[in-house]
Structure 1
Amino acid sequence: MEPGNNTQFSEFFLLGISADPELQPLIFGLFLSMYLIAVFGNLLIILATISDSHLHAPMYFFLSNLSFVDICFTSTTIPKMLKNIQTQSKVITYEGCTIQVYFYIFFAGLDDFLLTVMAYDRFGAICHPLHYTVIMNLRLCALLVLVPWMMSAMNSLLQSLMVLKLTFCREVEIPHFFCELNQMVQLACSDTFLNDMVMYLESVLLAGGPFAGIIYSYSKIVSSIRRISSTQGKFKASSTCASHLSVVLLFYCMSLGVYLRSAATHSSHSSATASVMYTVVTPMLNPFIYSLRNKDIKRVLKRVCGIRRWTQGNNRGSDADPSPMAEATEPIAPEPLIVPLEVVPVTLASWMQRHLRPQGTWHQWWCHLHPMESGNNTRISQFLLLGLSEEEELQPLIFGLFLSMYLITVFGNLLIILTIISDSHLHTPMYFFLSNLSFVDICFTSTTIPKMLWNIQSKNTGITYEGCITQIYFYILFAGLDDILLTVMAYDRYVAICHPLHYMVIMSPRLCELLVLISWMLIALYSLLHSLMVLRLSFCPLVQIPHFFCELSQVVQLASSDNFLNNIVMYFAAVLMGGGPFAGILYSYSKIVSCICKITSAQGKYKAFSTCVSHLSVVFLFYFTALGVFLSSAATHNSHSSTIASVMYTVVTPMLNPFIYSLRNRDIKEGLKRLYWMPSIKPIMLVLWIA
C-alpha cells in the first residue's frame, strides 16, 4: 500500500486478549465490570469536588482533572473492545485506528503530566505552607492544567501523523485489544526507522521528564519533613502525600512492568495481556485510593450519594462524629436504668474512643486503670477489629467490594485446581505446584475476609481472644506458604530450563511431594512460634485493633506488657523467612537468565523464557505489594495506612493469580476449555455464569 490517503486499505483486525470463543463471555464480563467501576468511581470523585466548596482547592482541582482523564483514557479502548466481543467482529477502520492511537497517547500523556503537577502541588503545600495559596493561585493552576493538555495534544498529533506516513499490507492483524502505537509501527511494510527514533525520543522526554519532576518534588518534600521537629507534624505532612504517592507508584510500576515484560519476551500477546494493568486496573483503583485515604473526599461522597446529611459547624472539613448537641436533638429511645456491670467498661471505652483523640491517650489511660496479667486470663474475652473504615455509610460499599473479590478469588483458584486435576496433560511438577498455590490462596483469603464480611453484616466488630490467636496462626501459615511455594516453583523453572533432559528425573513425584511437605512443616512451625509468642503477652481488658483482621505486628504493638522479645523474633523471622525464599528466587532466575543467554536461536530463547513469565508476574505482584505495605507503614507510621495497603497482598494478589496463569498459559486455557465442555461440569458452569 502506498503512503498517504490510499483507499485500497480500509480496516485493521484487533485480535484481542484471547482468540478462544469460550473465553469471550468471561473477558466481556470482567472488562465490562472494571470499566463501569472505573467510570463510576472517577465520576463520583468529580461530582464530589464540584459539589463541595471546601474541596475547591488546588489539590482537588488537579484530582478532578485526573479523574476526568482516567474516564477518557479507559473509554478510548474498552468500549470498542466490548463491542467487538459482543458483535463477534474484530474489525476497526484505518481512520478509527489512527484516532484511537491519537487519543490513547493523548490521555496517557496527560495522566503522566497531571501526576507531576500534583507532586509540585504537594511540594508547594509542604515546603512553602505560608505562601501556598499565593503560589498556587487560580491562574497558575489553570496554566498547569492547560500546558499539559497542549503538550499532550502536540505529542499525540506528532505520533499520529508519523503513523499516517507508513504503508501497510492489505490485511493487518494487530495482536492487541486496541490500536497500540508500537504494534502498528512494527506491522508496517515500509521503513519505520524515523518512527522508532521519534517514539523512543518522545518516551525519554515525555515520560522521563515528568518522572524526574516527581522525584525532585518528593526529594524536597522528604527534606522538609525531616526538618519538622514534632512526630505529629511529620505524620500530618507525609499523610497528605500518601494517596498521590500510591497512585504514582501504581502508574509507573504498571508501565514499567509492561515495558520490561514486552522487552523480555518480545511477544505482542504478552504485551497485550500486561497492558491491561495500566489501561484498566490503574484508572479503576485510583478512586478507591483517594476515597479510602482522604477524609474530605469520604465526607463529601456520603453527601453526594445522599446517604446522610452531616451537621456542619465545628466538624466541617473533617470526618469526625456529629457533636453531642446535634445527637441530643434526635429522638432517643429510653434506656434501662440498670446496666450490667460487665457492659460498663465497653460502653465507657466506646464513648472515649469517639470523643478522645488520639487513640493512644485513652488506650494508655484504660490500660493503667485495668491491667491484665499475662497467661490464661479470662477477663479479656474479645478484641475489636476496627476494619477499613468506621463510617457506617461506607460499610455496604466495602461489603460488596470485598465479597465480589473474595468470590472471584475462590472461584478462579478453584477452577485452576479442577482443571489441573481433571486433565492428565497437566499432571506435571509445574502444575502440581500451581494447584498447591491456588489451594493456599483460597485458604489465605478465607482466613481473613469471611470474618470481616460477617462483622460488617452483623455490625459486630468483636473477635474472641482465641479466635484472634487462631487467625494469626493461619494467616502467617498461608502467607509463608505462598512465599515458599513461589520459591519452589522458581526452582522447578530452573531445572526445566537449565537441565531439560534430566527434568523428569530430578523433579520426580517423590521430590515434588517432599518439597511441598517440607514447606508445610517449616511454615507450620514458624507460625506456631509466633502464636506462642503472642500468648505470653498481656493485654488490656479492651483491645481495639485498627485492622480488618488480627495482624501480628498490630497485636504485638497493642500489648500492655514488654514486647521486646516478640519484636526481635518477629524481625529475625521476617528476614529469615522473607529474605531466604526471595534470595532463592533471585538465584534461580540468575541461573535461568544465564542458561537462556547460551541458547543460540531467538525462538529458543523466547520459548524458554515464556515458560517463566506467569510465575515471574506472580512473584513481582507478591513481593511488590508486600514491599509497598512495609514502606507505607514505615513512612507514615499509621496503622490505617497499613490496613488499606495490606488489602493489595491479602486480597488483590490471590484474586489476580488465576487470571495471570489462565490468560498467559496455553495449557491452562486448553484445560479450562476441556473442563467447560465436560458433561458433568458444563451445567454447573452455566448456572454460575447466569448467577
Structure 2
Amino acid sequence: MYLVAVLGNMLIILTVSSDSHLHTPMYFFLCNLSMADIGFISTTVPKMIVGIQTHSRVISYGGCLTQMSFLILFGCMDGMLLTVMAYDRFVAICHPLHYSATMSPCLCCFLVLMSFFISLLDSQLHTLIVLQLTCFKDVNISNFFCDPSQLLHLACSDTITNDIVMYFVGAISGFLPISGIFFSYYKIVSSILRVPSIGGKYKAFSTCGSHLSVVCLFYGTAIGGYLGSALLPSTRKDVVPTVMYTIVTAMLNPFICSLRNKDIKSALGGCLCYVEPQNLTGALEFLLLGFSDDPELQPLTFSLFLAMYLVTLLGNLLIILAIGSDSRLHTPMYFFLCNLSMADIGFSSTTVPKVLLDIQTHSRVISYAGCLTQLSSLDFFGCLDSTLLTVMAYDRFVAVCNPLHYLDIMNPRVCSLLLLLSFLISLLYSQLHCLNISQLSFCTNMEIPHFFCDPPQLLQLACNDTSTSKILLYFIVAIFAGIPVSGIFFSYYQIVSSILRISSSGGKYKAFSTCGSHLSVVCLFYGTGLGVYLSSAVSHFSRKAAAASVVYTVVTPMLNPFIYSLRNRDIKRALQRFLNRMA
C-alpha cells in the first residue's frame, strides 16, 4: 500500500509538472494535495515497517511527539487543500468569466501558504497539549502510531481540561474546512440547477466529481475514527478504521483523480508512453558571467577559489580518514559527520572546478545539459547537507535527553536507514527542481550573472510564462527546507529543556558542549543559504549577489572541518594520531 501510494502520488506530481496544459490552479492544488498525501502516509508506515522488521515496537517520547506533530500537520494540510480546491471549483462554475483573474498565481500561492501555516499551528497546538501531560500510567499504545487521544487516555494526571481543549481544537480545525466545502458546494449546486440543459448540468458537475469523491472518503473515515477515539478508549479493533484514513485514503486519491479525470489520464498516457519535446533547448548554451570581466582580477579569483577548494578537500578528507581510522569514533555522531564531510566535498566540487576551468580557458560557456546536471548535483548535495544536519540534531537530542537508551535507539540499522532516507529525499528534491526547469523555453538572452546555474536565474531568463514554475520552485524549497528546519528546532527545544533541568553549571556546560559544533554549522549553513535564497526571490541577481552566494556554496563546506576539529577534542586527538601514523 505504501509503495502504491507513493508511486501514484509521485506520478500525479510529475504528470502535472511535465504537461503545460495542466498548469492551472486546479491541478496546482492537486499537485500539492499529492505531496501532502505522501507526507501523511510516510509519517506512519515506514515506522510500522521498521518495527515489524526489527521486532521492536518501541518509540521514544520525542519520536512519538514528532510523529504525532507531522501526522496532524499533513492531515490538516489535506483538509485545508480540499477546502481550497472546493473554493477553486466554486469560482470556476459560478464565476467562469472571472476565473483566471480571481485564481491568479499570487492568490494560489497565498492559499497554499495559508493552508500550510494553519496546519502547522494545529499540529503545534496538539503537541503543546500533550507536552502538558506529566506522567503516564501505561506505555502501551493500542495503535500503530502516536495518536493524541491515545496519549490522553494513558496519562495518569487529570486530563479533563486537556481533553476539552484537544477536542475543541480538533473541532475547530475540522469544522472550518468542512463549512467552507459545504458552502462552496451549496453555491455550485445552486448554479448547476440554473443551467437549462441536462448536458450542461452534467458537464459542470463532472468537473467536481473527483474532488467530491476524495472529500467524502477523507472526511468520512477521519470523522468516524476521530469520534470513535473521543467516545471510547481505543482497542486494537479500532486500528482498522484508522488505517482507512491514514493509509488507504492517501493510496486511493491518485486513482480517483486519474480515473475520473480525462486530462490527467491523457497526460499520464503521454508521460508514460512518449514525451514530446516542448522546445529545442538541447543545443543551447549559457554564458556564466561570474564575478568580474577585469583580466587583472582573474589570477586573484583563480588563486582564491583554488585555495578554498583545496582546503575544503583536505579538511573534509582528513575528517573522513580520522574517523575511519579510529575505532573510538565509530559512533552514530561521527558516522553522520563523516557523511556530512562527503556531502560537503560533493557540494563544493559541483561549482568550483567549473569556475577554475572557465578562468583558465577564458571560456564561460556551459551547455544546457551541463547546466541541468550542475543544477541537479548542487541541489542534491545541498539538500543532503540539510537533511544530515537534521539527522545529527536528532542524534544529539537522543544523546542528551535519553542517554541511557542512546545506543539502543541509535543502533547501526537506524543510522543506515536515516542516511538512506536523507539520500532519497535529496534525490527527489534535485529531480523535482530539474523537472521544473526542463519545462522552460529559452530564447536569446542566455547570460547568467552568476558562477553556477541556479534555478531562480534560469526562471528569469525563460521567455515563456514562468508564474507556475516560480510557485512550484518556491513551494518545493519551502517544504524541503521547512521540514528539516522544524526538525532541528524541535530537537534543540527538547535539548535546551533537558539541559535547563540539570542542577549543576558544570553538567549544563558538559551537556551543551556536545551540541556546540553542530549548532555552529547549522547557523552558518542555514543563515547564509536562507539569506541568499530569499534575496533571489525578492530581487534580480547581480554580480554582488553572486559574491554573496560564495559564502554558502564554497566557504561553508570549507569551514565545517575547522568548526568540528577546533571545538571537538575527540576529533583533534584522532587527527593527531592519524597524522602521527602518516609521519
**TM-score normalised per structure 1:** 0.44
Whole-angstrom CA distance in 2 between matches of 1:568 and 1:632:
16
Alpha-carbon spacing, 1:379–1:609, altered in 2? closer, same or farther (3 Å): closer
Which residue of 542, 561, 565 maps to 1:639?
542
Alpha-carbon spacing, 1:571–1:651, altered in 2? closer, same or farther (3 Å): same
The DSSP-based 3-state class of the residue aligned with 2:515 is helix
Whole-angstrom CA distance in 2 between matches of 1:393 and 1:439:
34
After TM superposition, the structure 1 = structure 2 runs for residues 204-353 of structure 1, keeping only pairs within 5 Å, are none
Tell me, yes or no, if structure 1 residue 522 matches structure 2 residue 425: yes
Alignment correspondent of 2:296: 393
Q: CA deviation at 1:596?
A: 0.5
Tell me, yes or no, if structure 1 residue 676 matches structure 2 residue 579: yes
Alignment correspondent of 2:385: 482
| TM-superposition CA deviations, 1:582-624 (whole Å, max 9, x none) | 1110110000000001111211111100000000000111111
Tell me, yes or no, if structure 1 residue 576 matches structure 2 residue 576: no
Q: CA deviation at 1:403?
A: 0.6
After TM superposition, the structure 1 = structure 2 runs for residues 119-130 of structure 1, keeping only pairs within 5 Å, are none
Alignment correspondent of 1:511: 414
Which residue of 328, 336, 353 maps to 1:433?
336
Whole-angstrom CA distance in 1 between matches of 2:545 and 2:408:
45
Whole-angstrom CA distance in 2 between matches of 1:638 and 1:543:
14
| TM-superposition CA deviations, 1:459-480 (whole Å, max 9, x none) | 0010111000000100100111
Give the letter for the 1:485 counterpart.
L
Q: CA deviation at 1:628?
A: 2.7
Give the letter for the 1:607 counterpart.
K
Alignment correspondent of 1:603: 506
Contact 1:633 1:639 in 2 (8 A): no
Give the letter for the 1:566 counterpart.
S
Alignment correspondent of 2:355: 452
Alignment correspondent of 2:400: 497
Alpha-carbon spacing, 1:436–1:657, altered in 2? closer, same or farther (3 Å): same
After TM superposition, the structure 1 = structure 2 runs for residues 617-636 of structure 1, keeping only pairs within 5 Å, are 617-633=520-536
| TM-superposition CA deviations, 1:407-449 (whole Å, max 9, x none) | 0001000000000000000000000000000000000000000
Whole-angstrom CA distance in 1 between matches of 2:282 and 2:439:
15
Alignment correspondent of 2:566: 663
**TM-score normalised per structure 2:** 0.51
Q: CA deviation at 1:638?
A: 3.7
Contact 1:538 1:561 in 2 (8 A): yes
Whole-angstrom CA distance in 2 between matches of 1:421 and 1:378:
45
Contact 1:628 1:645 in 2 (8 A): no
Which residue of 555, 560, 567 maps to 2:463?
560
Contact 1:632 1:645 in 2 (8 A): no
Give the letter for the 1:550 counterpart.
C
Whole-angstrom CA distance in 2 between matches of 1:469 and 1:676:
40
Whole-angstrom CA distance in 2 between matches of 1:390 and 1:634:
26
Contact 2:309 2:554 in 1 (8 A): yes
Whole-angstrom CA distance in 1 between matches of 2:424 and 2:537:
31
Whole-angstrom CA distance in 2 between matches of 1:499 and 1:438:
26
Alignment correspondent of 1:381: 284
Which residue of 322, 328, 339 maps to 1:419?
322
* Structure having the higher Rg: 1
Whole-angstrom CA distance in 2 between matches of 1:604 and 1:560:
60
Contact 1:406 1:445 in 2 (8 A): yes
Alpha-carbon spacing, 1:428–1:379, altered in 2? closer, same or farther (3 Å): closer
| TM-superposition CA deviations, 1:211-254 (whole Å, max 9, x none) | xxxxxxxxxxxxxxxxxxxxxxxxxxxxxxxxxxxxxxxxxxxx
**Structure 2 residues without counterparts, runs of 5 or longer:** 1-275
**Identity percentage of aligned residues:** 58
Which residue of 415, 437, 440 maps to 1:537?
440
Whole-angstrom CA distance in 2 between matches of 1:406 and 1:438:
13
The DSSP-based 3-state class of the residue aligned with 1:377 is coil
Whole-angstrom CA distance in 2 between matches of 1:531 and 1:631:
20
The DSSP-based 3-state class of the residue aligned with 1:389 is coil
Whole-angstrom CA distance in 2 between matches of 1:649 and 1:472:
15
Q: CA deviation at 1:637?
A: 3.7
Contact 2:290 2:450 in 1 (8 A): yes
Give the letter for the 1:592 counterpart.
I
Contact 2:450 2:546 in 1 (8 A): yes
Contact 1:374 1:538 in 2 (8 A): no
Q: CA deviation at 1:376?
A: 5.6
The DSSP-based 3-state class of the residue aligned with 1:463 is strand
The DSSP-based 3-state class of the residue aligned with 2:463 is coil
Q: CA deviation at 1:632?
A: 4.3
Alignment correspondent of 2:450: 547
Alpha-carbon spacing, 1:637–1:408, altered in 2? closer, same or farther (3 Å): same
Whole-angstrom CA distance in 1 between matches of 2:503 and 2:282:
70
The DSSP-based 3-state class of the residue aligned with 1:677 is helix
**Structure 1 residues without counterparts, runs of 5 or longer:** 1-372, 683-691
Q: CA deviation at 1:631?
A: 4.9
Contact 2:442 2:462 in 1 (8 A): yes
Contact 1:629 1:646 in 2 (8 A): yes
The DSSP-based 3-state class of the residue aligned with 2:350 is helix
| TM-superposition CA deviations, 1:166-193 (whole Å, max 9, x none) | xxxxxxxxxxxxxxxxxxxxxxxxxxxx
Give the letter for the 1:670 counterpart.
R
Alignment correspondent of 1:9: none
Alpha-carbon spacing, 1:641–1:630, altered in 2? closer, same or farther (3 Å): farther
Equivalent residue pairs, number: 308
Q: CA deviation at 1:518?
A: 0.4
After TM superposition, the structure 1 = structure 2 runs for residues 12-31 of structure 1, keeping only pairs within 5 Å, are none
Give the letter for the 1:657 counterpart.
N
Alpha-carbon spacing, 1:610–1:520, altered in 2? closer, same or farther (3 Å): same
Alignment correspondent of 1:283: none
Give the letter for the 2:410 counterpart.
M
Q: CA deviation at 1:627?
A: 2.8
Whole-angstrom CA distance in 2 between matches of 1:379 and 1:589:
47
The DSSP-based 3-state class of the residue aligned with 2:280 is coil
| TM-superposition CA deviations, 1:80-112 (whole Å, max 9, x none) | xxxxxxxxxxxxxxxxxxxxxxxxxxxxxxxxx
CA RMSD of aligned residues (A): 1.6
Alignment correspondent of 2:310: 407
Q: CA deviation at 1:643?
A: 0.9
Alpha-carbon spacing, 1:377–1:637, altered in 2? closer, same or farther (3 Å): closer
Whole-angstrom CA distance in 2 between matches of 1:636 and 1:543:
19
Alpha-carbon spacing, 1:378–1:533, altered in 2? closer, same or farther (3 Å): closer
Tell me, yes or no, if structure 1 residue 466 matches structure 2 residue 369: yes
Alignment correspondent of 1:591: 494
Q: CA deviation at 1:542?
A: 5.1
| TM-superposition CA deviations, 1:306-356 (whole Å, max 9, x none) | xxxxxxxxxxxxxxxxxxxxxxxxxxxxxxxxxxxxxxxxxxxxxxxxxxx
Whole-angstrom CA distance in 2 between matches of 1:443 and 1:523:
13
The DSSP-based 3-state class of the residue aligned with 2:286 is strand
Q: CA deviation at 1:543?
A: 0.8
Whole-angstrom CA distance in 2 between matches of 1:529 and 1:405:
30
Give the letter for the 2:371 counterpart.
C
Contact 2:456 2:536 in 1 (8 A): no
Whole-angstrom CA distance in 1 between matches of 2:384 and 2:414:
17
